[in-house]
């Protein structure tokens, strides 16, 4: 696991929301005009719990003060670059970038692979076509993809094709084909 402990982060954010509601600073009033000084921390938290998932809770309520207290900053580690780059520090623009990046880490749609059945040749060889949409250049691990397609092939009983597609361009990046013979281990 990499990143902040989600329970520690959530607890710290709830304590911070209480502080913002009861004893706000000028910075809090700027960032959270709807809740700063409302003297209703429990009601504010109940509203947040009812209406926000993890990633949207972070986007809505992570304060600059808490980011400073937890010494948060953003580092870009791009595979295309041999160097790390500090992409966000403690300033207004940096706080927004850190919030977006941290929220994205907790977004299930980003963490879980996006794999969908996109076609099947019912009148021909019954080939099943599955598409994996790659986000941020993150590919499926080859052995995991082969194992998963093996299970799908066993259930389907015919050949399976997996195409990896770039999220932004729609370009097919690579393709894996499995025949019924491959799936049966012969």
pLDDT one digit per residue (tens) for the chain, 186 residues: 466 788 999 999 999 999 999 999 999 999 999 999 999 999 999 999 999 988 899 999 999 999 999 988 888 776 667 778 787 778 888 888 888 888 887 776 666 778 889 999 989 889 999 998 887 777 788 888 888 888 888 888 888 999 988 887 888 888 888 877 765 554
Structure tokens at 93: 């623009």
DSSP string, 23-90: S--HHHHHH-TTTTT-S-HHHHHHHHHHH--HHHHHHHH--HHHHHHTT--EEE--TT-SS-EEEE-S
pTM attached to this predicted model: 0.62
Structure tokens at 62: 């992570």
């Amino acid at each position: 696991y990499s990143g902040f402990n989600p329970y520690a982060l959530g607890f710290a954010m709830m304590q911070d929301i209480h502080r913002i509601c009861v004893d706000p600073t000028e910075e809090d009033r700027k960032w959270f005009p709807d809740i700063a000084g409302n003297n209703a921390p429990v009601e504010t938290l109940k509203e947040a719990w009812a209406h926000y998932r993890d990633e949207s809770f972070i986007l809505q309520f992570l304060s600059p003060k808490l980011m400073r207290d937890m010494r948060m900053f953003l580092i870009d580690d791009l595979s295309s670059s041999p160097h790390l780059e500090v992409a966000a520090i403690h300033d207004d623009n940096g706080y927004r970038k850190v919030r977006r990046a941290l929220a994205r880490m907790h977004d299930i749609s980003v963490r879980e692979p996006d794999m969908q059945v996109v076609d099947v040749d019912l009148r021909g060889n019954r080939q099943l076509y599955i598409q994996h949409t790659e986000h941020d250049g993150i590919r499926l691990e080859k052995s995991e993809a082969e194992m998963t397609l093996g299970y799908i092939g066993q259930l389907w009983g015919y050949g399976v094709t997996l195409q990896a597609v770039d999220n932004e361009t729609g370009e097919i990046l690579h393709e894996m084909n499995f025949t019924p013979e491959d799936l049966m281990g012969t």
